[in-house]
């Protein structure tokens, strides 16, 4: 038996929220591994999405940048159709797009905050998985990777709704894995710890708070976006061909 391949040569991937942070790191890594990569974002006026697509093309792969609000089914359906029109098929979906902000205790959370966090972090994963999953079922092949969070397992009183949404992503992963296994579709999740991204600017801008947080992490630091790509490549490739329905923590040992 040979060493399993981590190559994504000839594959087509969609990475939601792919213009920066963890999504961008995964998109570029997939391109380096041989995949053509479509990326999407709700906001495109800042030019970051197209800039990332240009970087993918600079690696010798094809790319497509699409404006899409993943909480809207019409946007998701349009995204999927555009990718199929451009690349013919979709082999890999990475549900990465998400939002995070500090909330009051659950008893005081405004309904609007609840809806926004759940819609982006859970409903969006569901809508994308549903739309892409149907295409994968037709081809009897595919791979879905959901980006969850360590907070799906370790609750925080400062981000209760986010914790609930990400716990939902973990269960969504398990249910989809059960339902889609007979179609040769694998579904797994990655649960990153706090990472040095725009989403955590509030923590990164407070050196004392960051120092206290990192002191809780056995490996002594928060994650860089690049720390997630090895796990993403593993799950996207044939190296993990017998793994489905699982969530892999990439958190520096915080939840250990």
What would the pLDDT profile of 140-193 be if each residue is shown by its tens digit?
999 999 999 999 999 998 899 999 999 999 999 999 999 999 999 999 999 999
- Residues with active-site annotation: 162
Average pLDDT, the chain: 95
Q: In which region does residue 199 sit, left (phi positive, over 0), alpha (psi from -120 to 50) or beta (all else)?
A: alpha
Average pLDDT score over residue span 84-98: 98
pLDDT of residue 209: 84
Could you give all domains of the chain from N- to C-terminal order, each with its CATH number? 12-250 (3.40.50.720)
DSSP string, 41-74: ES--TTSHHHHHHHHHHHTT--EEEEE--TTSHH
With a cut of 70, say whether residue 1 has pLDDT above it.
Answer: no
């Amino acid at each position: 038996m040979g060493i399993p391949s981590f190559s994504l040569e000839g594959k087509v991937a969609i990475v939601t929220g792919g213009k920066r942070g963890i999504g961008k790191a995964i998109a570029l890594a997939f391109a380096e591994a041989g995949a053509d990569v479509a990326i999407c974002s709700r906001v495109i006026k800042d030019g970051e999405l197209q800039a990332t697509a240009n970087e993918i093309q600079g690696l010798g792969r094809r790319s497509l940048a699409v404006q899409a609000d993943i909480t809207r089914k019409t946007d998701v359906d349009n995204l999927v159709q555009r990718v199929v029109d451009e690349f013919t098929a979709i082999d890999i979906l990475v549900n990465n797009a998400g939002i995070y902000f500090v909330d009051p205790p659950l008893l005081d959370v405004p309904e609007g905050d609840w809806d926004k966090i759940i819609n982006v972090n859970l409903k969006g994963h569901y809508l994308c998985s549903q739309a892409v999953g149907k295409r994968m079922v037709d081809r009897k092949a595919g791979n879905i990777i959901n980006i969850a969070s360590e907070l799906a397992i370790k609750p925080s009183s400062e981000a209760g709704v986010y914790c609930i949404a990400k716990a939902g992503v973990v269960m969504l992963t398990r249910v989809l894995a059960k339902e889609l296994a007979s179609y040769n579709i694998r579904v797994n999740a990655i649960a990153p710890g706090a990472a040095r991204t725009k989403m955590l600017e509030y923590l990164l801008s407070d050196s004392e708070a960051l120092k206290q947080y990192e002191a809780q992490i056995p490996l002594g630091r928060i994650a860089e976006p690049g720390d997630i790509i090895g796990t993403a490549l593993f799950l996207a490739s044939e190296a993990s061909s017998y793994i489905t329905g699982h969530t892999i923590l990439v958190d520096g040992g915080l939840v250990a």
